[in-house]
Amino acid sequence: MRFLWPEMLWTLLLIPALLAGYVWLLRRRMRAAVIAPDLSAIRLAQAGRRSYRRHIPPALCLAAITCGLIGSAGPSARVVLPADYMTLILAMDVSRSMLAEDVPPNRIKASQEAVKAFIEGLPQNVRVGLVTFAGTAQRAHGITDNRQDIYEAIDRFQLQRGTATGSGLLMALDMLLPDAGIKLETTVYGWETGGTPIQPDIQRDRASIAGAGAGPSRADQVSGPPGSYRSGAIVLLSDGRRTTGSDPIEAARLAARLGVRVHTVAFGTPEGFIPGFEGLSFYARVDEETLRQMAQVTQGEFFRASNAADLQGIYEHLATRIRLERQDTQISALFALAAISLALLAIGLSLAWFKSMPVRTQSNI
């Protein structure tokens, strides 16, 4: 449970103070009954020895006050609710390392079949866009609700050298949020105005993405807390370490600032290698740590798949995740309802048993 105003929880210190005051009044009344007994005091003292009912209404009042104080702190709980995702962007690694045969027949074929099954299992109202990345990133297919077009785009994957994981994420972000003002010509394609090729640079990426020195950027205008964007998400699959392009962690931080969740999938085994020329082979190791950080920064989920069955299970889980999602929901109203119910119950019991209000009963003890 989380609280919007946790400082209000300090008011719970009133509860032991009220309890101590009740006990003090109770003992003072009992001493008065012994020192200067009268008929009503004797009856109350005798009733106190026979029954505990007189303590129930004050206890209920104390519980009502406790619920009210907790409710004033703005409590929230994570509950499972239907998700309202309408757009899903798939970012797929098409680097040459996807030729590794540790996942038969090879990584690229296994991932193509798994992602098509994943798309088929999505709700019909979810639109899908497709981005691929290797030495650079490109739009394989724009956002559409035509699943067959997406399947055909997946079948047309062409493998290339290099792994630009960060550029792939930036391209996916730009497809999902075209009004965010991401400068793809510098952050992805590596070309400044005038057509001069440049090398990716983290500090320049930050400046161009955030619009530093040029006032509030469009990214600032659509920004929100991590995970707050409810209309879309990104699923990124990669099997290797970034070798070129924008820094993937910086790209993930931008996604977090825009409120977009990025779910990452590390695909392959440590034994994976790429067949080369003249019998030479190259290991294709998975960069789990970077993919894990990307998901963590954006409040997404990280998955590890070492075979086709694992990948299929992950995509099935994500399909369910698109339908149902854990969300922080305010539950102050529940505590307010509990406080009112307990207070009314205390009043009702006090009137039924003692023909008086709980406060009066408490003062007569």
Domain ranges for the chain: 2-78+331-364, 83-329
Tell me, what's the pLDDT at 200? Answer: 37
Tell me, what's the pLDDT at 21? Answer: 86
3-state SS of 245-295 is CCCHHHHHHHHHHCCCCEEEEEECCCCCEEECHHHCEEECCCCHHHHHHHH
Q: Are the C-beta atoms of residues 272 and 201 closer than 8 Å to each other?
A: no
Q: Looking at 40-49, 106-115, 162-171, 331-340, which range is the least confident one?
A: 40-49
Q: Looking at 13-27, 181-195, 332-346, 347-361, which range is the least confident one?
A: 181-195
Give the Cα separation of 62 and 80 in Å (integer).
32
Beta-strand relationship, 75-82 and 2-3? antiparallel
Q: What is the DSSP letter of 196?
A: -
Give the containing element (helix H, strand E) for 349: helix 332-354
Give the Cα separation of 23 and 28 in Å (integer).
9
Give the Cα separation of 11 and 309 in Å (integer).
53
Distances (CA, A) of 129 to 113, 160, 220, 299: 17, 21, 24, 21
Mean pLDDT of 17-32: 81
Q: What is the DSSP letter of 52?
A: S
Q: Looking at 19-28, 90-99, 162-171, 292-301, which range is the least confident one?
A: 19-28
Closest to 140 (Cα-Cα) out of 187, 172, 166 = 172
Q: CATH fold of 83-329, please?
A: Rossmann fold (3.40.50)
Tell me, what's the pLDDT at 216? Answer: 42
Mean pLDDT of 332-345: 92
Tell me, what's the pLDDT at 211? Answer: 42
Q: How confident is the model at residue 1 (pLDDT cuts 50, 70, 90)?
A: confident
User: For residue 126, what are its two tokens?
Assistant: 């979810």
Residue 349 in this model has a pLDDT that exceeds 90: no
Q: What is the pTM of this model?
A: 0.62
Tell me, what's the pLDDT at 194? Answer: 37
Residue 208 phi/psi, 5-degree rounding, is -70, -35
pLDDT tens column, 56-113: 888 999 999 999 999 999 888 876 555 556 899 999 999 988 888 888 888 899 999 9
Q: How confident is the model at residue 284 (pLDDT cuts 50, 70, 90)?
A: low
Neighbour-count burial for 259-292, b at 16+ CB within 10 Å, e otherwise:
bbbbbbbbbbbeebbbeeeeeeeeebbbbbebbb
